[in-house]
Amino acid sequence: MNVAIVLSGVATVAWIVAIGVIGLAVYRATRGQAFKAAGRIIVAAVLIALISTSISAGLVFIQPTDRGVVISALDEGVRQDALQPGLNWVVPFLENVIEYPISRQTYTMSIAPEEGQIIGDDSVEARTADGQIVKVDASVIFSIDPEDVVQTHIKWQGAYIDNLIRPVARGVIRDAVSQFGVEEVISSKRFELITMMEDDLSNILTEGGLILQDFVLRNIAFSEEYAASVEQKQIAEQQAQQAAFVVQQREQEAEQARKIAEGKKDANIIEAEGRAEARLIEAEAEAKALELIASALQDNPDLLTFEYIQKLAPGIRVMLVPSDAPYLLPLPELEQQTVVVPTVEPSPTETPTESTE
């Protein structure tokens, strides 16, 4: 419970009682009725009100997230030490306390009308090293140095946002952007740009009694003309990448076809080598067989005749051979048999015959 607030409430009640008793005494006096205790009640109420008001004016409760700067008529205008969290005493009516938050505060400058502290487009317009205009959205997250609250008050009188944060942040952003090209700002050196802004802004705020907690580069917007050129460039790059992909795909297909052809070639070679090797083996086997046959015939010449006879059908009786072909092998002897040719009744001009073969 805040004691100062309680005492302030007691003083308020006492003043109300005093005023009410005065009013009641005047009313009864007009009707000719005496109010003997009115004087004592009024005096007591006024004393209580004065004491409570004085004490409540001298007691100041500082929240843990705040620090108090004492504006004094007795100590060169301001106390050198800030009031710490808790209940503090100041000289009533001669000293006044201004509280400053030491927790994090955020100041946003945005192109969106409802996002920043200022309604409307509050982005930072800056020019890059190659002459392109960009609009930067940024947020500065800061806090007041608890050890330097009194000096911060003396320097800025509470207007540190309007007189320090805003102008310094906008100037730092413009200076940093001017050192990079537009493509570097949006891609390759974006983090370097942010680091530069943070370092410069931190040094300046430290001198002003503030601590930079974080700097957020929210967005970078370009002019419509440059945005259109960037879009066209991206489209061209995508088309080039697509064409390169098609070429790469064709090369892969050609390489695949070449490997397939090489595989078929190797398979044909292997198959041909296999056939040749098989024929060689077969020829070697035949040659070896012929050598064996020749050796056998040399030792037994009649073997060929025997094999020839064995190949003849058992019931063969007639063989047709060319008239001018020599007999390579002896012919088997054929038994003479009589062949009876069936006859038919002769015509009147023919006579029956009997032939013997």
Does one domain contain both 8 and 79?
Answer: yes
Are residues 72 and 95 located together in one domain of the fold?
Answer: yes
Burial 128-162 (b: 16+ CB within 10 A, else e): beeebebbbbbbbebbbbeebbbbbbebbeeebbe
Confidence check: pLDDT of 127 > 80: yes
User: Do 99 and 4 touch, CB atoms closer than 8 A?
Assistant: no
Two tokens at 47? 């004393």
Compare 70 and 291 and report the one with higher pLDDT: 70
- Asked if residue 329 is part of any domain, the answer here is no
Q: What is the pLDDT of residue 355?
A: 41
Based on the structure, what is the number of domains in the chain? 3
**Is residue 347 domain-resident?**
no
- 103: tokens are 């927790």
Shared domain check, 156 and 93: no
Q: Are residues 38 and 54 in the same domain?
A: yes
Token pair of 335 as six digits? 């038994």
Confirm whether 233 is domain-assigned. no
Clarify whether residues 197 and 260 are in a common domain. Answer: no
Residue 312: predicted pLDDT: 62
Distances from the Cα of 297 to the Cα of 133, 285, 293, angstroms: 111, 18, 6
Whether 192 shows a pLDDT value over 50: the answer reads yes
Joined tokens for residue 240: 């080039």
List phi, psi (to 5°) of 185.
-65, -40
87 & 112 share domain: no
Strand 124-127 relative to strand 133-144: parallel, antiparallel, unpaired?
Answer: antiparallel
The predicted model gives 156-184 an average pLDDT of 93
Residues 113, 186 share a domain: yes
User: Which tokens sit at 22?
Assistant: 């005065």
216-270 confidence digits (pLDDT tens): 999 988 877 776 766 677 777 777 888 888 888 888 888 888 888 888 888 888 8
Residue 320 covered by a domain = no
Domain identity same for 296 and 210: no
Identify the pLDDT of residue 353. Answer: 45
Domain limit, last residue, from 306, 326, 346: 306
Query: What does pLDDT average to over the chain?
Result: 81
* pLDDT value at 319 more than 70: no
Q: Mean pLDDT: which of 164-168, 287-291, 338-342 is highest?
A: 164-168
In this structure, the answer to whether residues 119 and 204 fall within a common structural domain is yes
Q: What is the CATH number of the domain that holds 170?
A: 3.30.479.30
Q: Which residues of 74-88 are buried (b: 16+ CB within 10 A; e: fewer)?
A: eeeebbeebbeeeeb
Q: How far apart are CA 308 and CA 329, in angstroms?
A: 8
- Report how far apart, in Å, the C-alpha atoms of 156 and of each of 138, 202, 208 are: 23, 17, 8
pLDDT at 350: 47
Instruction: Say whether pLDDT at 341 is over 50.
Output: no
Q: Are residues 217 and 115 in the same domain?
A: yes
pLDDT digits (tens, 9 = 90+) for 146-158: 999 999 999 999 9
In a domain, 341, yes or no: no
Q: Which of 101, 122, 157 is the last residue of a domain?
A: 101
The answer to the question of residue 60 being in a domain is yes
Q: Identify the band that residue 47 occupies on the pLDDT scale cut at 50, 70 and 90.
A: confident
Band (pLDDT 50/70/90 cuts) for residue 320 is low
Same domain as 192, residue 115:
yes
The pTM score is: 0.57
Contact of 62 with 68, CB cutoff 8 Å = yes
| Domain-embedded: residue 157 | yes
Lowest average pLDDT, out of 1-10, 75-84, 125-134, 308-317, goes to: 308-317
- DSSP string across 228-260: HHHHHHHHHHHHHHHHHHHHHHHHHHHHHHHHH
Q: Confidence band (pLDDT; 50, 70, 90) for 338?
A: very low
Q: What is the pLDDT of residue 325?
A: 55
The mean pLDDT of 91-120, rounded to a whole number, is 90
Q: Which residues sit opposite 124 in a β-bridge?
A: 136
Render pLDDT for 56-65 as a digit per residue (tens, 0 to 9): 778 888 999 9
Q: What is the pLDDT of residue 324?
A: 61
Between 312 and 356, whose confidence is greater? 312
Length of the chain: 357
Measured between its terminal Cα atoms, the distance across the chain in Å is 157
Give 308's pLDDT tier (boundaries 50, 70, 90): low
Q: What percent of the chain has pLDDT over 70?
A: 80
Half-sphere exposure of 185 (CA within 13 A, CB side): 28
Q: Which ranges of the chain does DSSP label H, i.e. alpha helix?
A: 3-30, 38-58, 149-156, 160, 166-177, 182-183, 190-207, 224-299, 302-311
Which residue segment(s) compose the domain that 289 sits in? Answer: 242-306
Task: Among 150-164, 290-304, 339-353, name the one with the lowest average pLDDT.
Answer: 339-353
- Structural contact between residues 144 and 209, judged by C-beta atoms closer than 8 angstroms: yes
What is the pLDDT at residue 160?
Answer: 94
Same domain, 194 and 131: yes
Which of 280, 306, 332 is at the close of a domain? Answer: 306
Q: Is residue 227 part of a domain?
A: no
pLDDT at residue 200, as a whole number: 95
Asked if 200 and 168 count as a contact pair (C-beta separation under 8 A), the reply is: no
